[in-house]
Amino acid sequence: MEALNGWWDDYFWGSVVVFKIFITSLILMVIFGLIGAMAKLSNNRIAQKLAAAYTVIFRGTPEILVILLLYFGSAITLTAIAQIFNPDIKFLDIPPFWAGTFAISVIVGSYATETFRGAFLGVDPGSVEAARALGLSNFKTFIYVRIPEMWRIALPPFGNHMLSLIKDTALISIIGLNETLYVAKQATSVTSKPFTMYIVVGCIYLAFSTAITLTVMGLEKYANHHLEDA
């Protein structure tokens, strides 16, 4: 264990990076999921087709491939554009943080699309009719009736999506982001205690997923608490 001395702060800052990615990609994932679900449920043929293609593509491709493609693809495009203005630029990339965050939220968003779609379909049509009868606008019905009711249905699978997100953050170390796995790699090259170093990473992720699981359990209790008295 003494091999770990001097590395704790690196692991701490690595965990902070993991947490930042998680929060950012969580927000993006919800946005992608909602857009996808709305497109699938809309009457617009083109939107339906696009959303279907979105889910098929990102559910059928390995996560690591999407991350590599987005990072190296964007780097090559950016470099080409930058060279038009300044031929001296040799290499320009999107920071791995943003390339990776975007990649994992697009991937998990494709799973969330299906979850949200199912949950919207699970909203009692009577509630929507009641909102209409009360004269609520479409937008208000969406915010005050559909969302609160669908979110209760979507919560358990949504918890699983959050767990996938936190676990996918580990993949971003492949494109050189300095999160915990990257710290372990550096620490190994100095101390030659790889097992100790990687086990710490495992424990950090286990702590993250435990925290998420407990949060989701709490949220489920909160979302259903008005049903318990009945």
Partner 1 sequence: MNESVSLIFDSVLQMLGGIGMTFQLMFVSGILGLLLAIILLLMRISGKWYLNWPAQAYIYVFRGTPILVQIFIIYYGLPQFEFIRDSIFWPILREGYGCAIVGLILNSGAYVSEILRGGVIGVNPGLGEAGSALGLSARQRFIHITAPIAARLALPAYSNEIISLMKSTALASTITVMDMTGIARTIVAETYAPYEIFISLAIIYMILTFFIQKSFGRIENFLGRYTKQLEI
Nearer to partner 1, 23 or 65 (CB): 65
Nearer to partner 1, 56 or 217 (CB): 56
CB of 65 to partner 1, least distance (A): 6
CB atoms within 10 A of CB 190: 11
Nearer to partner 1, 48 or 160 (CB): 160
CB of 130 to partner 1, least distance (A): 33
Burial class (CB in 10 A: 0-12, 13-18, 19+), 196: middle
CB of 170 to partner 1, least distance (A): 4
CB of 224 to partner 1, least distance (A): 21
CB of 171 to partner 1, least distance (A): 6
Contact (Cβ atoms closer than 8 angstroms) between residue 207 and residue 17 = no
Residue 169, classed as helix, strand or coil, is helix
Nearer to partner 1, 56 or 134 (CB): 56
Nearer to partner 1, 12 or 72 (CB): 72
CB of 150 to partner 1, least distance (A): 22
What lies within 8 Å, CB to CB, of 39 at 6+ separation is: 47, 48, 50, 51
Q: Which two tokens stand for residue 167?
A: 């676990």
Nearer to partner 1, 150 or 165 (CB): 165
What lies within 8 Å, CB to CB, of 99 at 6+ separation is: 67, 70, 71, 74, 93, 175
Measured distance CA(158)–CA(161) in Å, rounded: 5
Residues that bind partner 1 in the complex, under the rule CB under 8 A: 56-57, 59-66, 68-69, 72-73, 76, 163, 167-171, 173-174, 181, 184, 188, 192-199, 201-202, 205-206, 209-210
The torsion angles phi and psi of 179, rounded to 5 degrees, stand at: -95, -170
